[in-house]
Amino acid sequence: MNKKGKVALKLKALVGILLIGAISFCLSSAFSMAKEKIIYMTTPWGVPSKNLLGEFEKQTGIKVEVTTIGDEKALRDKVMTATAGGIAPADVIFVGITNIGVFSSSKSILELDKVVSADLLDKLIGVNLFRIEDHLYGVPIYQQLVMIDYDSSVLEKMGASVPTTWDEFTQLCREIKQRGIKKYPITFGARAWSWYLIALSMGDPLFDKELNPTFNQPGSGGLRAMRLLRDFFKEGLISPERITSVNPHPSFWAGKAVFHQAWQGSLAISNDPKKSKVAPNAKYLLLPDKHFTWSLPAALSISAFSDKKDEAYKFINWFTQSRVQKYLYGAYGMFPANKAAFAELGKAGKIEGFDVMAEQAKFIHPIPYQAPWYTEFESEANDTIKRMVRDEISPEQAVNHLANYVYELKKEYE
């Protein structure tokens, strides 16, 4: 073969490879388009079972690919990065209330007012939590108050009554530790949520109506809560491990603590002997002092960049049906946003601790998650609390720093 022939052969081989690539790409695209497919990006506690997803596919012909992201912060990072690039990270996005302000202000998610039917919204609890400036950005899938669980068997053995103030709570925990019943009686993470829990229940709303901080005023609940949290760590009532592994749940379920920052519905897990050593002794505690708490519900939203909005809405509609909602409660302890599903669970006697929960529901103070700067504040609060429990700064310095940070953010976002 002469030189030209060799070159021609090389070129033909190159063109051949490109052709094969192009054909296989077209075939795979055609195959995937034969069935409609949407992507659903969620945290692990928003995943329906494979059977349920299979049923949805049978009913609608839409295949759902689930992308599970470890937590809401990581999910936010992915959505925001995709938004910066002007692409959809998924068609349907799980939106915890903590992310609603960020996603709506960055236009990552669609305004759903014209998409979602009034009938569907009537069936759900907590719709208004996902409205910002009269626009709906998410369809609620579960409701969730932040609560405290405790291991009632320990209190019974000690003959102790349920604490109603933070002083009683602290004294009881000290006694539990001193008597060697549990080395670390409390499991709260070194993070903003633990601080909110204590501060709100002490009666400090944290922010006023103009979203100015109230937590830095002398004698405020915010400052006292910061001190108490620091003392919990200092006295060894909380494991130092909670500084880096802030998730408080595994330690409680492993039977290593008595009190646990939990959520409405958490007893479904805490009292499941397959998942928790505390079962069947976990009970809800009405938060001490002034009892206030806040709500951490979640919704499903449609990506503003999705080209499968109709299919995405069908999925959301299906997700709010009673069967799926009850599955989420059974699997992850997430209370249904669907009123009918909630009532059915109640009738079936599957809602544990209903009395305390109903009482707790009377004391809700919203955290301003709808403010676009709020996640930045929370991130700073997490850092600051870590530094405080490590004794790098005092509680006073912590609240003052956070208050100044709020003012800076507000100024920038005005």
Partner 1 sequence: MKIKNKGKWQESFYNIADNEKWLAYLILVPVVILIFFMAYFPAIQSFRFSLMYYNTRLPARAHFVGLNNYIKILKNPLFFEALKRTAYFVLIAVGTILCIALVFSLVLNENFKGRPILRALVMLAWAIPPVVNGFMWKWLLNGDFGFLNGILYQFGLISSYKPWLKDPFAALNWATLTFVWRFTPFVTILLLGALQSIPLELYDSAKVDGAGARSCLWYITLPLLRPMLTIALIIVMIFAFTVFDEIYTLTGLDPATKTLMMYDYELSFEKGRFGLGSALAYIIGIFMFLITYFYIKSIYKEVKH
The answer to whether 248 touches 189, Cβ cutoff 8 Å, is: yes
Q: How far is the CB of 5 from partner 1 (least distance, A)?
A: 8
Distance, CA of 356 to CA of 283 (rounded, Å):
9
* Contacting residue, 84, 87, 343, 358, with partner 1 by CB under 8 A: 84
Those residues whose C-beta lies under 8 Å from the C-beta of residue 310, and which sit 6 or more positions away, are none
Is 373 a binding residue for partner 1 by CB under 8 A? The answer is yes
From the list 27-35, 81-89, 268-276, 278-286, the region that binds partner 1 by CB under 8 A is: 81-89
Count of residues touching partner 1 (by CB under 8 A):
42
Strand ranges of the sheet holding 146-151, from the earlier edge strand across to the other edge? 186-187, 259-263, 146-151, 282-285
CA–CA distances in Å: residue 89 to residues 57, 201, 365: 21, 38, 32
Least distance in Å: CB of 383 to partner 1? 5
Instruction: List the structure tokens of 240.
Output: 């130092």
181 binds partner 1 (CB under 8 A): no
Site for partner 1 in 102-161 (CB under 8 A): 102, 105-107
Counting contacts by CB under 8 A, is residue 206 touching partner 1?
Answer: no
Interface of this chain with partner 1, residues 9 to 28, rule: CB under 8 A: 10-11, 14
Neighbouring-strand partners of residue 39:
65
The phi-psi region of residue 180 (left if phi > 0; otherwise alpha if psi is between -120 and 50; otherwise beta) is: left
Determine the interface stretch with partner 1 among 141-149, 306-314, 372-380, 394-402 (rule: CB under 8 A): 372-380
First to last CA, the chain: 75
Closer residue to partner 1, CB minimum distance, 84 or 358 = 84
CB of 111 to partner 1, least distance (A): 15
Residue 387 is a binding residue for partner 1 (CB under 8 A) = yes
DSSP-derived letter for residue 47 is P
50 contacts partner 1 (rule: CB under 8 A)? no
Q: What is the per-residue burial (b if ≥16 Cβ within 10 Å, else e) of 371-399?
A: bbbbbbbbebbbebbbebbeeebebeebb
The verdict on 376 binding partner 1 (CB under 8 A) reads yes
Question: Closer to partner 1 at the Cβ: 53 or 399?
Answer: 399
DSSP state, 352?
A: T
Which residue in the set 66, 243, 279, 340 belongs to the binding site for partner 1 (CB under 8 A)?
243
Nearer to partner 1, 102 or 328 (CB): 102
Residue 366, preceding peptide bond in cis (omega within 30° of 0): no
Site residues (vs partner 1, CB under 8 A): 3-4, 7-8, 10-11, 14, 73, 76-77, 80-81, 83-84, 102, 105-107, 183, 239-241, 243-246, 251, 254, 256, 372-373, 375-376, 379, 382-383, 386-387, 390, 392, 412-413
